[in-house]
Amino acid sequence: MPAIELRGVSNFALRGVDLEVRDGELMVILGPNGAGKTTLLNVIAGLVSYEGSVLFDGAPVDDIPPRERGIGYVPQSLALFTHMTVWDNVAYGLKLRGLPEDEVRARVKEALSLLGIEHLKDRYPRRLSGGEQQRVALARALVIEPRVLLLDEPFSNLDAPLKRTLRSELRSLQSRTGITTLFVTHDASEAEELADRVAVMIGGRVIQVGTFEQIFFNPSAREVANLLGSQNVLECEGYRVVSQGLAEALCGDLRILVPYDGGAVRKVAIPPDKVVLSRDRSKRAWFNTFKGVVERIEPSRPSYRVEISLGRFRLLAMVLEGEMETLGLREGDEIYVKLPIKHVRILVDGSE
Amino acid sequence: MRRLGVVSWISILAALGAWEAVARLNIVPTQLFPPLSKVLAALVQMVLSGELPRHYARTLARVVLGFSLGSTLGIAVGLAAAYRRLTYGTLYPLVALLYAVPAVAWIPLFMLWIGLGEGLPVAVVFMCSFPPMVYSTLTGARSAGEDLVRVAKTLGADDLQVVTTVLLPQALPHILSGLKVEAGMAWRSCFVTEMVAMSSGLGLLAMEAQSILRVDQILAVVMVLAASNYLFHWIFERLEVSLLTKWGVMG
List chain B residues with CB under 8 Å of A65.
153
Q: What is the mean pLDDT of residues B22-28?
A: 86
List chain A residues with CB under 8 Å of B161.
96
How close does chain B come to A74, measured CA to CA in Å? Answer: 7
Backbone dihedral angles phi then psi of residue A299, each to the nearest 5 degrees = -70, 140
List chain B residues with CB under 8 Å of A111.
none
Instruction: Out of A185, A206, A228, pick the residue that ends a domain.
Output: A228
Q: How far apart are CA B210 and CA B217, in angstroms?
A: 8
Please tell me the CATH code under which domain B38-246 is placed.
Answer: 1.10.3720.10
Q: What confidence tens digit (pLDDT) does each residue in B221-242 have? A: 999 999 999 999 999 999 888 8
- How many distinct structural domains can be found in chain A? 2
Query: Cβ separation of B153 and A67 shorter than 8 Å?
Result: yes
pLDDT of residue B95: 84
- Are A139 and A192 contained in the same domain? yes
Q: What confidence tens digit (pLDDT) does each residue in B138-173 have? A: 888 888 888 999 999 999 999 899 999 999 998 988
What is the CATH classification number for the domain harbouring A186? 3.40.50.300
Q: What confidence tens digit (pLDDT) does each residue in A117-138 have? A: 999 999 999 999 999 999 999 9
Q: What confidence tens digit (pLDDT) does each residue in A250-274 have? A: 998 899 999 998 889 999 999 999 9
- Are A191 and A242 contained in the same domain? no
Query: Cβ separation of A82 and B247 shorter than 8 Å?
Result: yes
| Residues forming beta bridges with residue A269, ordered by sequence position | A233, A345
- Are A223 and A297 contained in the same domain? no
Neighbours of A288 (CB within 10 A): 19
Nearest CA in chain B to A71: B154
- Are A270 and A331 contained in the same domain? yes
Range of the domain at A167: 4-228
